[in-house]
Amino acid sequence: MPFSSLYIHVPFCERKCNYCAFESAVPREGDADLWLEMLEREFALRLAAAGRPRLATCYFGGGTPTVLSGPQWLSLTKLVERYFDFMPEAEVTVEANPNSLAAEHLLTWRDWRVTRVSIGVQSFDDVELSQMGRLHSARQAYGAVSAALAAGFSVSADFIFGLPHQSFANWGRTLREAVRCGLSHISLYQLSLEEGTPWASLDKDTLGDGYAAYRWAQWYLPRKGYRQYEVANFARQGRESRHNINYWREGEYLGAGPGAAGYLAGLRYKNFGSLRRWAAALADGELPVAESEQLPFERSAREAAVLALRMTSGLDRREFAERYGRQALDSLSASLQKFPRDLYEDDERGIRLTKKGMRVANLIWAELV
Ligand code: SF4
């Protein structure tokens, strides 16, 4: 089956946050128009042989998609419509930041096909927000969530735990507020100190206790109606991100834009991260691919296992064996046996991490890949 998921990377931010290593930069005059023009070329090149794909999911991530103005968003939606069809119940998500989300965005999205808005809230504590270098206050975050809900979208928000000096009480307050403001989906990420960011050299001893924060979220959010369906994601019934589930089930997807990754016809690729490098390749009529790789069979099986185990539904034994063979399945079970039995369940139905296993998932991935 041809791909039915599209990821578009908007590589702009108003300012870089202190912890962020994502592909994004503050746009110069004319950059957004250049990006739009070259995005069209990327679609034309990539779809030359694929015809008109029919999308089940589409995701605009970044960067900060709300850095684009209302008229630029209108051009973007028209561009996407020129190259893609959508299934009737397609899920279309846009990431937004509280300081730049405006009424014109919500109106344009509502008049188009957007169904979900994913807001980078990160914390409901003003001191933490300012430490992180975020450009918004907690109050603006509430405002953005309420405006997106009032406009009829399914609203998700991201939060970071394990921040410098983050107390358990502060984390608890942030999550209680997240529940109170009516989100349908909550994503939680532990702070990681990334090379090349202002926080790369922070003293790890100053960071809040990530293990305890995550464990509490695993206890608290399901009590409030948010089921954990993946290591970092909790959702109300039926509000899981179908776009991300496609990644974890190894579905194919087209990624477009600087730094975007994609997976098509068994090939994983990543575009040039720099806007100029990406645009120059496209201006020369070339695909802007920085790296691509056809995974060897064994690695493919291991990666598929890790992706499946990220979800609480886990890995289906029969499906996995049909695709990768009995030997790959046995080898996976054998690798897991090195871990205590309370970290995973392995039965005739499948293999799943327990809640406790999810808390040490990184150690498990390191053993499996
Ligand atoms: S707004 Fe998001 S993408 Fe932009 S710098 Fe901050 S964390 Fe990174």
Residue nearest atom 2 of ligand 1, based on CA coordinates? 63
Ligand 1 centre to CA of 16 (Å) is 6
pLDDT tens digits, one per residue of 247-285: 999 999 999 999 999 999 889 999 999 999 999 999 999
* CATH tag, 297-368: 1.10.10.920
pLDDT tens digits, one per residue of 314-339: 999 999 999 999 999 999 999 999 99
140-172 in b/e form (b: 16+ CB < 10 A) is bbbebbebbbebebbbbbbbbbbbbebeeebbe
What burial class does residue 93 get, using C-beta atoms within 10 Å of its C-beta: 0-12 exposed, 13-18 middle, 19+ buried?
A: buried
List CB contacts of 255: < 8 A, sequence separation 6 or more.
7, 8, 9, 261, 262, 263, 269, 270, 271
Give percent of the chain with pLDDT exceeding 90.
95
Closest CA to 113 of 95, 92, 96, 94: 92
Residue nearest atom 8 of ligand 1, based on CA coordinates? 20
Start and end residues for every CATH 3.20.20.70 domain found in the chain: 5-248
Angle between helices 31-47 and 70-83 (to 10 degrees): 10
The closest-lying atom of ligand 1 relative to the alpha carbon of residue 20 is: 8
Kindly indicate the confidence band of residue 2, based on its pLDDT and cuts at 50, 70 and 90. Answer: confident
pLDDT tens digits, one per residue of 172-220: 999 999 999 999 999 999 999 999 999 999 999 999 999 999 999 999 9
Q: What residue type is assigned to position 234 of the chain?
A: F
pLDDT, average across residues 105-125: 98
- Provide the mean pLDDT of the chain: 96
pLDDT on residue 149: 98
Closest CA to 90 of 44, 51, 59, 52: 59
pLDDT at 1 over 70: no
pLDDT at 94 over 90: yes
Q: Which of 19, 22, 118, 160 to mutate to test the pocket of ligand 1 (most atoms within 8 A of CB)?
A: 22
* Rg over CA atoms, the chain: 21
CB 43 within 8 A of CB 81: no
The closest-lying atom of ligand 1 relative to the alpha carbon of residue 19 is: 7
Distance CA 309, CA 240 (A): 16
Alpha helices in the chain (DSSP H): 31-47, 70-83, 103-111, 126-132, 138-150, 168-180, 210-223, 242-248, 275-283, 297-310, 317-324, 326-336, 355-359, 361-368
Output the six-digit token pair for 89: 């119940």
Give percent of the chain with pLDDT exceeding 70.
100
Global pTM reads 0.96
Q: Which residues pair with 255 in a beta bridge?
A: 7
pLDDT on residue 188: 98
Q: Which of 12, 24, 60, 159 to mutate to test the pocket of ligand 1 (most atoms within 8 A of CB)?
A: 24
pLDDT at 118 over 90: yes
CB 93 within 8 A of CB 114: yes
pLDDT, average across residues 142-166: 98
pLDDT on residue 351: 97
Q: What residue type is assigned to position 35 of the chain?
A: W
Number of H helices and number of E strands within the chain? Answer: 14, 15
pLDDT on residue 266: 86
CB 46 within 8 A of CB 286: no
pLDDT, average across residues 118-126: 98
Q: What are phi and psi of 224, to 5 degrees?
A: -100, 10
pLDDT on residue 151: 98
Dihedral sign of CA atoms 74, 79, 80, 85 in order: positive
Kindly indicate the confidence band of residue 51, based on its pLDDT and cuts at 50, 70 and 90. Answer: confident
Start and end residues for every CATH 1.10.10.920 domain found in the chain: 297-368
The architecture in CATH of the region 5-248 reads: Alpha-Beta Barrel (3.20)
pLDDT tens digits, one per residue of 160-181: 999 999 999 999 999 999 999 9
HSE at residue 261, side-chain half, CA atoms within 13 A, is 9
pLDDT tens digits, one per residue of 288-310: 999 999 988 988 999 999 999 99
Q: Which of 20, 132, 194 to mutate to test the pocket of ligand 1 (most atoms within 8 A of CB)?
A: 20
pLDDT on residue 50: 76
